[in-house]
Amino acid sequence: MRLRIGDPDYAAPGDAPAEETSPLDLMRRFLQGDLASLRVIAAIALIWIVFELQNDRFLSAVNLTNLFLQITAVGLISVGVVMALLIGEIDLSIGAVSGFAAAVMAVLNVKQGWDPALAVIAGIGTGAIIGLVQGFLFTRFSIPSFVVTLAGSLVWQGALLKVLGSTGTVNLTNSEIIKLADTFYSPAVGWIVMAAGVGLFALITLSGYRRRLAAGVTSEPFGLLVARVVIVAVVAVVAISILNSDRGLPLALIILFAFVIGFQFLTTRTVFGRHLFAVGGSAEAARRAGIGVTGIRVIAFTLCSSMAAVGGILAAARLESVNQSSGGSNLLLEAIAGPVIAGTSLFGGRGSVWSALLGATVIGSISNGMYLLALESSVKYMITGGVLLAAVVVDAIARSRRQAEGRV
C-alpha cells in the first residue's frame, strides 16, 4: 500500500522506525530528540527537585497553582509559534501582537461598551488579520519572515500605544473577562476533567498506532506508547491533586489544554497538518507534490498571530489590565524558547504542539524558581537565554546526526 502526503496514515517527518526497539536504539533516539517529550518531562522533574532543595516553598500547592496560571498565556502563544516553526519560519511580532490584540479587546469593552464576548472575538480577529497580512507579505514578496515580523513588532507596538491613548493603561472591570483567569473548579470537576483528558489522550494515541500499523506505516514501539500514556496519567493525577489542595482546577489551564489538543489534532490528523510538515521538511518537494505551499504558509502565520492574541487576552484577564508594557519584557523569548526546548526544530518539519505546553512548563518553572530565590534580573535573563541557546545547540546537533544517517 503506497501512501501519499495528505493521506490520513501518511507518516510525518520524524516518525520512528518500528524495528528500532532495543534499549540502545531507544537511548540513541532519546539523545537525538526523537523522544523529546520524555526528555523534557525528565528535565522538568530535575528542575523542580533543584528548586525545591533551594526553597521548600517551590513545590507547595499555592506556588505550583500560581506556576500553572503563569504559563497559560505563554503556552497559548507558543501553540501558535509551533505553527510557524513547523514550516521552518519564525514570527518575531508575537509579543507586540499579543499586547495590541489585548488592548483592542480592552478598549472595545471598557471604553466603547462592547459585549465582552464580542470584544474578545474582535481581539482574536485582530490577531488573525495581522497574521494574514504578514503571511501575505512574506510569501508574495519573498521577504524573509524574520524581517517582516520584526518590522511588524514595531508597527504593532506603536499601534498598542495609539489604542491605549494618553492614559497608557486600561483596567478591565468586566467580570466575564476576568473570570477567564480567575475561575477555579471543585475537586470533583477536576478529577472528571483529568480522567476525560487522559482517556482521550490514550484513545488518540493507541488508535493512531493501530491505524498506522494496519496501513504498514512505520511507527513507535507499542511499549513506548503505553509508557507515554502511563507517564501522562501519572503527571495528570499529581497535577490535579496539587491543584485540588489549593484553589482547584483553573479555567485558564483547561483553555490551554483545549487549544493544545485541538492543534495537536490539526497537525497530526488532518491533511493540512501533513502538508504543514511537508512544507517544513522541504518546500520544493512539497510544491512538486502538488501542495499549495503559499497557502500553507499564510495559514500558519495567521494561526500564529491568532494564538498570540488569545494568549494576550488571557494575560490581560489575569492581570486585569492592559498597559504600554503588555506583550513586552521577555514574553517573545519565552514563547519561542519553550517549543524549541521541548523538541520542535527551528529548521522546520519536526515537532509537536505538545512542545508548547512542555516548553512553557520548563521556562515557567525556571522563571518561578528564580523569583523565589530572589535572583537579580541580570541573572534571570542570562539563565533563560542560556537555556534557549543550549536547546538550539542540541537541536542542531540532533539534526546533523539525522542528516548523517539519512533520516531527515
> CB 350: neighbour CB atoms within 10 A?
26
- Alpha-carbon distance 199 to 194, whole Å? 8
What is the tens place of the pLDDT at every residue in 51-80? 999 998 999 999 999 999 999 999 999 999
- 13 pLDDT higher than 50: no
- 3 pLDDT higher than 50: no
What is the tens place of the pLDDT at every residue in 299-355? 999 999 999 999 999 999 999 999 999 998 789 988 998 898 888 888 888 889 989
Which residue range is the domain that position 200 belongs to?
Answer: 23-404
Q: Is residue 312 part of a domain?
A: yes
What is the tens place of the pLDDT at every residue in 76-119? 999 999 999 999 999 999 999 999 999 999 999 999 999 999 99
Q: Is residue 309 part of a domain?
A: yes
- 4 pLDDT higher than 50: no
Q: Is residue 18 part of a domain?
A: no
In this predicted structure, what is the pLDDT of residue 122?
97
Q: Is residue 15 part of a domain?
A: no
pLDDT bucket at 24, cuts 50 / 70 / 90: low
**Grid cell listed for 254:** 483547561
What is the tens place of the pLDDT at every residue in 376-397? 878 878 887 887 787 777 767 7
- Alpha-carbon distance 135 to 187, whole Å? 43
In this predicted structure, what is the pLDDT of residue 402?
66
Q: Is residue 282 part of a domain?
A: yes
- Whichever domain contains 80, its CATH number is 1.10.3470
| All residues at 6 or more sequence positions from 357 whose CB lies less than 8 Å from its CB, including other chains | 75, 78, 256, 257, 260, 342
CA atoms within 13 A on the CB side of 170: 27
Q: Is residue 32 part of a domain?
A: yes
- 45 pLDDT higher than 60: yes
In this predicted structure, what is the pLDDT of residue 213?
81
In this predicted structure, what is the pLDDT of residue 22?
55
- Alpha-carbon distance 5 to 270, whole Å? 11
- Alpha-carbon distance 184 to 207, whole Å? 32
Burial 386-396 (b: 16+ CB within 10 A, else e): ebbeebeebbe
pLDDT bucket at 375, cuts 50 / 70 / 90: confident
Domain count, the chain: 1
Tell me the one-letter amino acid at 69. Answer: L
CB of 400 closer than 8 Å to CB of 30 = no
Residue with cell 535573563: 381
CA atoms within 13 A on the CB side of 163: 29
For residues 24-36, average pLDDT: 53
What is the tens place of the pLDDT at every residue in 206-239? 887 888 787 777 666 777 778 878 888 998 898 8
Q: Is residue 4 part of a domain?
A: no
Q: Is residue 28 part of a domain?
A: yes
- 21 pLDDT higher than 60: no
CB of 286 closer than 8 Å to CB of 104 = no
- Residue 323 has φ and ψ, to the nearest 5°, of -140, -175
